[in-house]
Structure 1
């Protein structure tokens, strides 16, 4: 039983990639748009026409899943570089059916997704796609749509269904926790020869110095933004084109500087403060954040959501400022090696990175927020920086380009953990995460089986022999 549970956890993680591919791909979702069986006769005729071409793989409540939806899911995964080896059509269909059951039950439970939220999500996707493909005309041709309004309506319905599905699943698992005793029981229930093995891991710390631009370079950036602002306001220039040409935001090639967000979203405080205080249609004065200097135009205010476009200019860093940062790090490194203070003390006193300085420079793994990084799963850039370090060795000053500009840093491996079989005390956080996922999996399975009994489910003849995780065949 424990071996089966561990295997199911692996399948769940694989299928989560399938879910992302399904939710993020417009081409797939365009063909998997939810269609209610209670709709008008004219819509029923459209469904019938599609059925003759594709064939129905399954019906879940009011929603139809076509065989072509499954094929396009595989295409989407391959396009996005996701591995498809070992993933079967049965597994993909099972995941699509889960999504539709979530959405169906969300409607039954009166779960609401506001028009403002849907509109913001749709606008963000359209802006992203237009930026990626080149123009709205090319986008409509690519998806074989007659006009922009039709495309927006299709995408709005798709987005609504995806958000309903996400919220239904979140509701099922909301406030779910796992106690230390439950974790202990779960772990002790795994035979020793079947316990997970964790690869080589390290704890890493760094001291960061960020070269400061001169006052002249800051003024130059501010004046450039003022010129751009004036050109847009007085001459009607396109801010999207200006962003594409001049913005230092690394996402500009994909979104032309456009972002749609609420106050709860994770944008820097300065950016949100300006966005939510600037009137619709107006462009802000230049303002500073940790990323550089911006101007921002509020394109639309939709309740608690703002559609804004910005241009970021990062002031040039002089060669002298760069050399000064490296010289400071060289001095800090020499004093650590001479025993004047520890690496952790130096990080607390000299590092410019506020996220790590108070932890003595120790980095947090963005996956689980622990201090450990598994070498085989570590970011390639970080791995290249610490790969050759031995013992208590401290790197020479390293230059790195980040979203907030150029930084220099010293890196040290604080501790190494050799590959080993899971140990309850040493690996508690990882074990806790596995145990919680198993508990969530069991909760979802119970919910699915319960709702399947009360929901109309039909599976196409070509899939009757599938060994589904859930009881879709109601055997």
Structure 2
């Protein structure tokens, strides 16, 4: 097979970047080549080698025979992406950017927000790494969306659940620890007028100095901005397309001319002013300075008193907990759209074992009975903001071996997942038989099925 100059598109999950990037640097001298073609999609030797290196780092006992399974898995991934493109499944640039931001922010958080250390470690800036993995992230979302589209209408009946449960050997039934389901109301403090005015006065003074030339924008950002991610770069936010910023910020930055400095605007994060540095097609590169109003102890106390009164209303049946969620909880947290019910992202359901809960939540519900509500708990949000939270204990189970009656919801999910998996594998097998697949002689000993038609 001829070697290809096509762009390297590694299907690496960004959460595995720490290992994968290191392996990339170690393989600079690798002469790359196409090892498989799936429809119009290509798999490169470096794709297989990087996946193998990552797997090997997790399990040193693996030998090179596993590369056959890796290639087979990559073929399946590319087949899904290829079919998604044929079916005109769409992924917006803003979705890709949001996912990249989320994943790289998580990595930066592990590095205490030190972008200089990030660049030293990976040999590239955050924005350069985002550019490198943007196509990979898009393909990952495409594959997920195609799978969701295929299995969106799959349902399962109680009889199917029972049949699934009855096929499980008694000695293979799982043993469940004590688990609980919880709901929450999270309320942020409102900025008091004095703190708001102080923040506005401060950013007004900073902007005046920049406008008068008394201070360079980048120096002011480094010294005063309360956005740690951009402050270390003189306020530079890098390139972004529409849909990345909150509405007020986006409307302002896209209305600016090159080098123009905006008026002061207010968003949910605080006060900003922005300078447009460059426009490239539908993308803009800007820098900004952010000043956040101070939240005082009095502001927090008002929230605590408010949630205490909300708790009283629910306990006295003057309001249901879901009604209180809609009226008082933060709309941007995942539980808001689920009537306050909290999802366990480790298990992808709403059940929590004691060790799945953070200590504050665990001790808040430890002595509660189903239906009881905790007193307001002071918490710190992911962005560092302080807030108060009410937690309701919805249910709690004793440790037990799985049984059909008590664990119907869980068994139903397992049965549905099994049905979806079976359907998807049949779909994948069918598409594999009708799609052009070519495999390099390098992998002839893998006995992987190619199809040339």
- TM-score bracket for the superposition, by shorter chain length: 0.5 to 0.7
SS at match of 2:44: strand
Counterparts of 1:50-69 in structure 2, within 5 Å, are 50-51=30-31, 59-61=35-37, 63-66=43-46, 68-69=49-50
2:275–2:287 Cα contact (<8 Å) kept:
yes
- Counterpart of 1:188 (choices 125, 145, 163) is 163
Gaps of 5+ in 2: 1-10
Whole-angstrom CA distance in 2 between matches of 1:254 and 1:459: 50
- Give the CA deviation at 1:165: 6.6
SS at match of 2:437: coil
Distance 1:253 1:343, change over 3 A: farther
Aligned pairs, how many? 416
SS at match of 2:272: strand
2:368–2:374 Cα contact (<8 Å) kept:
no
Q: Deviations over 1:362-389 (max 9, x none)?
A: 2342759998233368453664454523
- Counterpart of 1:447 (choices 431, 435, 440) is 431
- Counterpart of 1:411 (choices 391, 410, 428) is 391
Counterparts of 1:14-413 in structure 2, within 5 Å, are 19-21=13-15, 25-28=20-23, 50-51=30-31, 59-61=35-37, 63-66=43-46, 68-70=49-51, 72-74=53-55, 84=59, 89-90=66-67, 91-96=69-74, 98=76, 105=82, 132-134=114-116, 143=123, 159-160=134-135, 163-164=138-139, 167=142, 170-171=145-146, 174=149, 176-181=151-156, 185=160, 188-189=163-164, 191-193=167-169, 200-235=178-213, 242-243=220-221, 245-249=223-227, 251-252=229-230, 258=237, 260-265=239-244, 267-333=245-311, 339=316, 341=318, 344=321, 347=324, 351-354=328-331, 362-365=340-343, 367=345, 372-375=350-353, 378=356, 380=358, 383-384=361-362, 386-391=364-369, 392-402=371-381, 403=383, 405-413=385-393
Name the Cα RMSD after superposition.
5.5
Distance 1:22 1:381, change over 3 A: same
- Give the CA deviation at 1:408: 1.8
Distance 1:354 1:32, change over 3 A: same
Q: Deviations over 1:248-300 (max 9, x none)?
A: 446558986626544445x5433333344444543433333333333344444
Whole-angstrom CA distance in 2 between matches of 1:283 and 1:22: 39
- Give the CA deviation at 1:216: 1.8
- Give the CA deviation at 1:324: 3.0
SS at match of 1:295: strand
- Give the CA deviation at 1:407: 1.2
Q: Deviations over 1:375-404 (max 9, x none)?
A: 368453664454523215433331112237
